């Protein structure tokens, strides 16, 4: 179901931090609708049928997240990318590869090895990232199924954390393990760094969410326990209803739209 542009405008008035400044300057993005989560999946399939593959969409999404990380920090700095086992995690694998190719030291955290991932195109994206890292000696380290202490050590080195754990398919009141622990530790690292005095700003840590903060329903905006507290959320193709609810701002931070395709009007018949 498409929700009209007027609805988006109303939400912007109620939640002025919903859209990042860079998006506000481009009036073209204002016409992107709010689309129910179920219809986002239909739209993605229609785009794929039209010639832009799901793998290419994931490539563009991951690069958009990497662009946001680079916009948040002054220069190359350690980044931790938390990847779930699904296609939200696939966006994270692409992001990690893009950052590493740009010279950023990246630690990617995954619950299982790349070859054991079953979701596509996430599986292919993970293998591509590993191959690129090995061939080009990229500064990309993969941490598989770490315990809490191992994850803490990695997060303590990070200047930015990318949340690519759970995507638009998540709903419920509780996040399962190991992701619950990952979210708690990411929030703790983010909050402890954010509480530093101004003179200690060099230790600040940004937290960027891929598509939706993990633990928040993209459909309703309701947050489970725990839920990522992001500084910025890069959402893909269209806005989702939960993301534009006023109460969602405490989880999303500033909203950034990555359009991925030039126009979605030609695919409206698929919805």
CATH label of the domain that carries residue 158: 3.40.50.10260
Q: Determine if residue 147 is labeled as part of a ligand binding site.
A: no
What's the rounded Cα separation, in Å, for the pair 215 and 210?
12
In a domain, 268, yes or no: no
What was the pLDDT predicted at 23? Answer: 37
In a domain, 137, yes or no: yes
Cα angle 228, 232, 238 (rounded to 5 degrees) comes to 100
Token pair for 140: 């990309």
Q: Determine if residue 214 is labeled as part of a ligand binding site.
A: yes
What was the pLDDT predicted at 93? Answer: 99
User: E strands within the chain?
Assistant: 2-3, 34-35, 79-83, 106-110, 140-144, 160-164, 206-210, 232-236, 254-258
Q: Which residues contact 157 (CB under 8 A, 6 or more apart)?
A: 78, 80, 107
Q: Determine if residue 39 is labeled as part of a ligand binding site.
A: no
What's the rounded Cα separation, in Å, for the pair 229 and 161?
11
Q: Determine if residue 88 is labeled as part of a ligand binding site.
A: yes
What's the rounded Cα separation, in Å, for the pair 25 and 258?
14
In a domain, 67, yes or no: yes
In a domain, 114, yes or no: yes
In a domain, 136, yes or no: yes
Q: Determine if residue 67 is labeled as part of a ligand binding site.
A: no
Count of domains for the chain? 1
Residue by residue, DSSP assigns 138-154 as -SEEEEES--HHHHHHH
Phi, psi for residue 120 in degrees, rounded to 5 = -115, 140
Q: Determine if residue 262 is labeled as part of a ligand binding site.
A: no
Token pair for 265: 């009007």
The total number of residues written for the chain in this structure: 271
In a domain, 267, yes or no: no
What was the pLDDT predicted at 267? Answer: 85
What was the pLDDT predicted at 13? Answer: 41
Q: Determine if residue 192 is labeled as part of a ligand binding site.
A: no
pLDDT by residue for the chain (271 residues), tens digit each? 444 333 444 444 444 333 343 333 333 444 788 999 999 999 999 999 999 999 999 999 999 999 999 999 988 999 999 999 999 999 999 999 999 999 999 999 999 999 999 999 999 999 999 999 999 999 999 999 999 999 999 999 999 999 999 999 999 999 999 999 999 999 999 998 876 543 344 567 999 999 999 999 999 999 999 999 999 999 999 999 999 999 899 999 999 999 999 989 888 777 7
What was the pLDDT predicted at 65? Answer: 99
CA-based radius of gyration for the chain: 17
In a domain, 80, yes or no: yes
In a domain, 86, yes or no: yes
Q: Determine if residue 267 is labeled as part of a ligand binding site.
A: no
- Domain with 119, as residue range(s), is 2-261
Q: Determine if residue 242 is labeled as part of a ligand binding site.
A: no
């Amino acid at each position: 179901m498409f929700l009209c542009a007027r609805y988006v405008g109303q939400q912007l008035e109620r939640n002025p931090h919903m859209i990042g400044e860079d998006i506000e300057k481009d009036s073209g993005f204002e016409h992107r609708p709010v689309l129910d989560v179920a219809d986002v999946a239909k739209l993605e399939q229609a785009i794929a049928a039209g010639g832009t593959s799901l793998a290419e969409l994931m490539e563009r999404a991951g690069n958009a997240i990497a662009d946001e990380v680079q916009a948040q920090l002054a220069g190359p700095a350690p980044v931790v990318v938390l990847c779930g086992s699904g296609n939200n995690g696939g966006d994270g694998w692409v992001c990690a590869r893009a950052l590493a190719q740009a010279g950023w030291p990246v630690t990617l955290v995954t619950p299982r090895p790349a070859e054991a991932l079953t979701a596509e195109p996430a599986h292919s994206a993970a293998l591509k990232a590993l191959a690129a890292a090995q061939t080009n000696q990229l500064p990309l380290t993969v941490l598989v199924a770490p315990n809490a202490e191992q994850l803490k050590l990695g997060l303590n080195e990070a200047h930015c954390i990318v949340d690519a754990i759970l995507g638009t398919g998540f709903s419920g009141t509780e996040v399962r393990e190991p992701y619950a622990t990952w979210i708690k530790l990411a929030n703790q690292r983010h909050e402890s760094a954010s509480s530093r005095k101004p003179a200690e700003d060099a230790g600040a840590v940004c937290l960027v969410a891929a598509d939706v903060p993990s633990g928040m329903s993209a459909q309703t905006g309701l947050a489970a326990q725990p839920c990522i507290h992001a500084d910025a959320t890069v959402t893909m193709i269209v806005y989702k209803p939960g993301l534009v609810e006023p109460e969602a701002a405490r989880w999303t931070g500033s909203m950034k739209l990555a359009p991925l395709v030039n126009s979605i009007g030609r695919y409206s018949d698929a919805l």
